[in-house]
Amino acid sequence: MTAPLELAGDRLLILDQTLLPGQEVVLELRTADEVAAAILRLAVRGAPLIGVAAAYGLALEVASQPDVESLERGARALCAARPTAVNLAWAVDRVRAAALAAGADNLAAAALAEAVAIHTEDEAASRALAAHGADYLAGKQRILTVCNTGALAASGEGTALAVIAELARRSPHGEVSVLACETRPLLQGARLTVWELVNLGIPHALIADGAAAGLIARGEVDAVIAGCDRVAANGDTANKVGTYGLSLAAQAAGIPFVIAGPRSTIDPATPDGAGIEIEERGGDEVRYAGGALLTIADVPVRNPAFDVTPAALISALVTEAGVAAPPSRAAIADLLHATATPLSA
Amino acid sequence: MTAPLELAGDRLLILDQTLLPGQEVVLELRTADEVAAAILRLAVRGAPLIGVAAAYGLALEVASQPDVESLERGARALCAARPTAVNLAWAVDRVRAAALAAGADNLAAAALAEAVAIHTEDEAASRALAAHGADYLAGKQRILTVCNTGALAASGEGTALAVIAELARRSPHGEVSVLACETRPLLQGARLTVWELVNLGIPHALIADGAAAGLIARGEVDAVIAGCDRVAANGDTANKVGTYGLSLAAQAAGIPFVIAGPRSTIDPATPDGAGIEIEERGGDEVRYAGGALLTIADVPVRNPAFDVTPAALISALVTEAGVAAPPSRAAIADLLHATATPLSA
């Protein structure tokens, strides 16, 4: 398996991201419940990629049990897995609607075709998004990022990390380097982004999350770029917890703070950040790291998985259809209605 | 041993903070080099407490070898252990000067007397500082803090955590609660602050460092209080890496951001934050947590141990001699020249 997610007949193959970078284990999933469980425990993660996984999960569910009841039950199970990421509900809704429209006899075939379409579109979106982002950040060399937004988070090369990879390809002498926030509690930066940066051949250094603001203030960063889990209609953006703090540090230092994601991450039904539900996850994610207990075993924990960066702190929202800079309500509406623009590279 | 540091004849007893909260192991140190090594590996830590430890370390050194050469060699070894914390150099200089002034015959006795004086003054300073800080933060209930600033970091009840403890004592119905940042990479919050909050009986929750800004933005915090490793003459303050980001989040939310520390942390010889040397520590601190490898074993790491919060983002500097709010150059000079004010409680 070369991709982190692959359909193989009646099974969805998923690279178990909870075991990276130590082990590369492939999971074989056959039902919506199995896919929902993999999403919930972050074996597959990244807002766009869980959309693709959920789409395949629902298609597999109705392939084995081709009726409306299975479709609806599977859709509910998948949507409940992670409430903040909008791509998940968007992808599930697309598969569900396509299946229902096709009628009882074609339910399974239509669901599968729609899931494949979502996956293919997502790969094309990654390429287009990377080109738009690299255009916007042309000349920036020292990039700071958080969480994981590469091929492990979205189809193709991902979102924010795809922009960085494209910037690196365009830099003739390897001037592009990355500071990767480790991204506690689940360490997607330390485990996944670093692994992807090694594979991409891009120079990098890992930092504790708390070190980012000081390094930005000391002039060691030219731009910050992050992914997104949900973008409200006004540009307020939910992303991995810690992102908001990076936006404050970027603003204070006068460097660009960029959000990258496919248009499916934009939720026109959410007017602003106040309407975004923030998932609180279990306390053991904070109590432990790499299997080691870090504190008193029963210490009370608050563990919000996301935070909201106000649109006013975002220099640009980069999508496959272009860049909203700044991401005003009007600019975002334009992106949503645009046909995807041709690639610049 | 009831305190984290205690002189016992010709030995300095230190509670090994690297093993907390899992084990309570007491180290017996006899020379300046042993104390410097304990400071370097953070067995004893916290800017004020390493000042006291270093003072005793130098006194022990000249007790066993009462000559000027030992005094100077011990002073150099201790000062080299941690460059950012000013209390260390300040305490070593005091002991050295007192010993030299006393002359060859009284070197050891004078050094010991000065170290004991520093320790005693530090305990009184903690009580006064706590009272001043609790006056300033009267009515604030939900406090966020970073790193460890309690009895494990300074004599008495510490600095920022002493203020919180005093606020809690003054709150009749236990309304005071604490959000403790885990404080990667070395997890002083998860390991030490949580342990101290349990001992103090103050309700608390542990959070990932990246979660602080979002929780502050959501209105879940009334005030942020942190310790300090060095305060420049203009109020710019070096403290544990991550502190600067908290100050940005507090400013954005319009809540007080308070720095607490003894006056010995103020360095009039450093005009502003640009002059503060930031210690970079080894990469394994970031690669590992609780003994577990979190990433690729040889990943490059940046690990600044501190960052600098500009004075403009600090609502108040709380010391044993009173509060500078805001910490202007003039207000800080006044604090340095004031006689310690009587306790309000």
Can you give the pLDDT at residue A83? Answer: 78
Report chain B residues whose CB lies below 8 A from the CB of A304: 211, 214-215
DSSP states along B126-190? HHHHHHHHHHHTTT--EEEE-S--STTTSSTT-SHHHHHHHHHHH-TT---EEEEE--TTTTHII
User: In this predicted structure, which of A104-118, A313-327, B283-297, B331-345 has the lowest mean pLDDT?
Assistant: B331-345
Binary contact (A184, B208; C-beta < 8 A):
yes
Rounded Cα–Cα distance for residues B301 and B282 (Å): 8
- Write out pLDDT tens, residues A38-94: 999 999 988 889 999 999 999 999 999 999 999 999 999 999 998 777 889 999 999
Can you give the pLDDT at residue A339? Answer: 76
Nearest CB partner across the interface for B214, out of A181, A187, A241: A241
Can you give the pLDDT at residue B312? Answer: 98
Return the residue matching tokens 């790969």: A123
Binary contact (B295, A214; C-beta < 8 A):
no
- Write out pLDDT tens, residues B224-263: 999 999 999 999 999 999 999 999 999 999 999 999 999 9
Task: List B171's β-bridge partners, or say none.
Answer: none
How many CB pairs below 8 Å do chains A and B form together? Answer: 209
Can you give the pLDDT at residue A342? Answer: 45
Can you give the pLDDT at residue A177? Answer: 98
Binary contact (A294, B212; C-beta < 8 A):
no
Taking residues A116-127, what's their average pLDDT? Answer: 93
Higher pLDDT: B20 or B189? It is: B189
Can you give the pLDDT at residue B344? Answer: 37
> Residues for chain A: how many in total?
345
One-letter amino acid at B102 equals: A
Binary contact (B214, A244; C-beta < 8 A):
yes
Report chain A residues whose CB lies below 8 A from the CB of B250: none
Which of A307, A308, A309, A313 to mutate: most B Cβ within 10 Å? Answer: A307
Rounded Cα–Cα distance for residues A176 and B70 (Å): 50
pLDDT of residue B342 exceeding 80, the answer is no
Can you give the pLDDT at residue A2? Answer: 65
Instruction: Note the pTM of the prediction, 2 decimals.
Output: 0.90
Percent of chain A scoring above 70 in pLDDT = 98
Binary contact (B210, A292; C-beta < 8 A):
no
Give how far B272 is from chain A: nearest CA, Å: 14
Active site residue B229: yes
Q: In the structure, what pLDDT confidence band is assigned to residue B345 with cuts at 50, 70 and 90?
A: very low
**Contacts for A254 with CB less than 8 Å, ≥ 6 apart:** none
Handedness of CA B85, B292, B242, A146 (dihedral sign): positive
B153: left (phi over 0), alpha (psi -120 to 50) or beta: alpha
What's the mean per-residue pLDDT of chain B?
94
pLDDT of residue A345 exceeding 60, the answer is no
Contact in structure between B104 and B69 (CB atoms under 8 Å): no
Element (H, E) at A214: helix A211-217
Rounded Cα–Cα distance for residues B166 and B155 (Å): 15
From the list B312, B333, B183, B320, the residue with the least C-alpha distance to B243 is B183
Residue A303 φ/ψ, nearest 5 degrees = -140, 65
Higher pLDDT: B32 or B83? It is: B32
Taking residues B317-323, what's their average pLDDT? Answer: 97
- Write out pLDDT tens, residues A280-293: 999 999 999 999 99
- Write out pLDDT tens, residues B92-137: 999 999 999 999 899 999 999 999 999 999 899 999 999 999 999 9
What's the mean per-residue pLDDT of chain A?
94
One-letter amino acid at B336 equals: L
- Write out pLDDT tens, residues B183-218: 999 999 999 999 999 999 999 999 999 999 999 999
- Write out pLDDT tens, residues A234-256: 999 999 999 999 999 999 999 99
Report chain B residues whose CB lies below 8 A from the CB of A290: 288-290, 292-294
Binary contact (A217, B242; C-beta < 8 A):
no
Q: In the structure, what pLDDT confidence band is assigned to residue A154 with cuts at 50, 70 and 90?
A: confident
Contact in structure between A131 and A320 (CB atoms under 8 Å): no
pLDDT of residue A343 exceeding 70, the answer is no
DSSP states along B270-319? --SGGGPPPPB--THHHHEETTEE-S-TT--B--BSEEEE-GGG-SEEEE
Nearest CB partner across the interface for B184, out of A184, A291, A302: A184
pLDDT of residue B316 exceeding 60, the answer is yes
Can you give the pLDDT at residue B84? Answer: 79
- Write out pLDDT tens, residues B47-56: 889 999 999 9
Report the chain B residue with the minimal C-alpha distance to residue A293.
B290
Can you give the pLDDT at residue B14? Answer: 96
Rounded Cα–Cα distance for residues B337 and B321 (Å): 9
pLDDT of residue B341 exceeding 70, the answer is no
pLDDT of residue B220 exceeding 90, the answer is yes
Give how far A258 is from chain B: nearest CA, Å: 18
